[in-house]
């Protein structure tokens, strides 16, 4: 309705949409859960659970949500997952598995790059699901099944709440698949409880806006380059965090696998180069600490964003307790806010950055 697409008391849609994320998490939880029962199309569930491999196809921020989803589906639904850029996959289709199932992630449901893949998938006769924020969109109508992101209209070009909603909806489907297949990890995960925790955790972060405004000032004023680093789940997250920053602040920023720094990127580190390091991934935590020392020794200005579980004295941003697999739902929020304030400080049009469109309907 019309009230959903006004800025209300906000100056920008982006900040409003960042702030809406706790409510979106609660909405996803109440929509997709009925007590313990998961509310998804049962025909779809059987179809997707029967696949021997999932191909998740997307562009931009939705592609980054797909990278996070890979871990979630592999763990909870016990199925191998390929994550594909729509603009590449359509033209260079790899040899497919015997029983593939295609999942399209698209906030708008209108991205031409993704649609051209879906057209081919339909020609080949394979089944597909579109996860989208716009249920009557082209990708929704042309796929076999649809799951709604339920994030409400997203107006700012830089996607925020659709990313976090998409990860949550991937987790819902993965859990339903895993339960159907008898996967222990799926049965053991209290996803409703986790989504409630996520909502509260995001709330504590968005309640500290001044802190992130100050971080943006301290770390990014006058800077032309910045890096996000992490391992495992934090690597996938770093790609999205860096995209947020570059698309609206126009600061050149890159997300890197922390272990790859030494294979090239570390040559870019000079005195006061901003490096944002994520530590939510338990397996990678100790090694990422080592990488932080390496860049610090070369003069980098490092900000550590660590989950409570792995935090050490001196870490600047602490992420409240949340299941590691879905942790990007929470740990992306500091990056959204840092990007927002960096863009604002430069006097950019936060909601409508130069050269970008909300949905790209050309290939």
What span, in angstroms and rounded, lies between the C-alpha atoms of 163 and 329?
8
# residues contacting ligand G6P (CB under 6 A)? 16
108 binds ligand G6P (CB under 6 A): yes
- Residues listed for the chain: 363
Residue 331 interacts with ligand G6P (CB under 6 A)?
no
State which residue has the least CB distance to ligand G6P.
60
Q: Is 358 a catalytic residue?
A: yes
Min dist. Cβ of residue 119 to ligand G6P (A) = 15
For 133-170, the DSSP string reads: S-TTSHHHHHSSEEEE-------SSS--HHHHHHHHHH
Q: Give whichever of 118 and 215 is closer to ligand G6P, judged by the CB atom.
A: 118
Q: Which residue has the tokens 């090694």?
A: 287
The sheet with strand 225-230 has its strands ordered as: 252-257, 225-230, 274-279, 301-307, 317-319
User: Taking the complex as a whole, how short is the minimal distance between the CB of residue 362 and ligand G6P, in angstroms?
Assistant: 11
Binding positions for ligand G6P, 159-198, rule CB under 6 A? 159
Q: Which of 120, 209, 223, 358 is catalytic?
A: 358
- In the bound complex, what is the minimum distance in angstroms from residue 101's beta carbon to ligand G6P? 19
Residue 343 lies near ligand G6P (rule: CB under 6 A): no
Helix H or strand E segment including 296: helix 285-297
DSSP 3-state of 323:
coil
Q: Are 126 and 101 in contact (CB under 8 A)?
A: yes
Query: Considering beta carbons, is residue 119 or 356 the nearer one to ligand G6P?
Result: 356
Which tokens hold the place of 287? 């090694």
Q: Would you count residue 336 as binding ligand G6P (CB under 6 A)? A: no
CB closer to ligand G6P, 89 vs 310: 89
Asked whether the CA dihedral 267, 270, 276, 278 is positive or negative, the reply is: positive
- What is the Cα–Cα distance from 229 to 336, expressed in whole angstroms? 15
* Binding status of residue 360 toward ligand G6P by CB under 6 A: yes
255 binds ligand G6P (CB under 6 A): no
**Residue located via tokens 């659709």:** 162
Kindly state whether residue 87 participates in binding ligand G6P, applying the rule CB under 6 A: no
Pair of tokens at residue 132 = 């989208």
For ligand G6P, give the closer residue by CB, 71 or 351: 351
Distance CA 286, CA 160 (A): 29
Assess 157 for contact with ligand G6P (CB under 6 A). Answer: yes
Of 111 and 194, nearer to ligand G6P (C-beta) is 111
Pairing, β 274-279 against β 252-257: unpaired
**Ranges of H-type helices in 221-265:** 233-249
Bridging pattern class, strands 53-58 and 33-34: unpaired
Q: Which residue carries 């790899």 as its tokens?
A: 94
Question: Shortest approach of ligand G6P to residue 114 CB, angstroms?
Answer: 6
* Stretch 110-129: interaction string toward ligand G6P, x if CB under 6 A: -x--x---------------
Interacting span for ligand G6P (CB under 6 A) from 39-47, 48-56, 93-101, 106-114: 106-114
CA dist 139 and 102 (Å) reads: 12
Among 5, 119, 124, 356, binds ligand G6P (CB under 6 A): 356
Q: Is 106 in the site for ligand G6P (CB under 6 A)?
A: yes
The distance in angstroms from the start CA to the end CA of the chain is 31
Least Å from the CB of residue 277 to ligand G6P: 24
Q: Residues 6 or more apart from 250 whose CB is under 8 A from it? A: 343, 346, 348, 353, 354
- Binding map of ligand G6P across residues 39-78, x = CB under 6 A, - = no contact: --------------------xxxx----------------
In whole angstroms, how close is the CB of 8 to ligand G6P at the nearest point?
22
For ligand G6P, the binding residues (CB under 6 A) are 59-62, 106-108, 111, 114, 157, 159, 356-360
| Residues forming the active site | 358
């Amino acid at each position: 309705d019309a009230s959903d697409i006004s800025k209300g008391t906000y100056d920008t849609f982006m900040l409003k949409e960042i702030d809406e994320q706790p409510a979106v998490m609660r909405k996803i939880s109440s929509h997709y859960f009925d007590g313990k029962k998961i509310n998804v199309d049962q025909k779809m569930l059987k179809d997707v659970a029967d696949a021997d491999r999932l191909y998740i196809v997307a562009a931009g921020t939705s592609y980054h949500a797909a990278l996070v989803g890979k871990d979630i589906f592999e763990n909870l639904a016990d199925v191998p997952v390929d994550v594909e850029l729509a603009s590449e996959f359509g033209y260079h289709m790899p040899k497919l598995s015997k029983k593939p199932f295609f999942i399209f992630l698209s906030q708008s449901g209108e991205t031409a790059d993704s649609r051209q893949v879906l057209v081919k998938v339909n020609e080949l006769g394979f089944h597909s699901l579109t996860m989208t924020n716009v249920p009557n969109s082209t990708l929704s109508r042309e796929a076999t099944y649809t799951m709604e992101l339920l994030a409400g209209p997203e107006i700012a070009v830089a996607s925020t709440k659709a990313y976090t909603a998409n990860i949550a909806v991937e987790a819902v489907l993965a859990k339903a698949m895993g339960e159907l297949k008898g996967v222990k990890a799926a049965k053991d995960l209290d996803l409703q409880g986790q989504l409630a925790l996520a909502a509260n955790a995001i709330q504590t972060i968005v309640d500290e806006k001044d802190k992130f405004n100050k971080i943006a000032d301290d770390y990014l004023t006058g800077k032309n380059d910045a890096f996000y680093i992490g391992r495992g789940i934090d690597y996938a997250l770093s790609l999205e965090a860096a995209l947020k920053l570059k698309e609206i602040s126009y600061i050149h920023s890159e997300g890197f696998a922390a272990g790859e720094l030494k294979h090239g990127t570390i040559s870019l580190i000079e005195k006061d180069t901003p490096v944002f390091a994520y530590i939510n991934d338990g397996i990678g935590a100790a090694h990422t600490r080592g990488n932080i020392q390496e860049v610090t020794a070369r003069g980098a200005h490092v900000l550590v964003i660590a989950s409570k579980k792995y935090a050490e004295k001196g870490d600047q941003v602490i992420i409240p307790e949340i299941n590691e697999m879905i942790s990007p739902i929470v740990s992306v929020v500091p990056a959204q806010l840092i990007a927002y304030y960096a863009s604002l400080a430069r006097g950019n049009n936060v909601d409508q950055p130069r050269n970008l469109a909300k949905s790209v309907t050309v290939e």
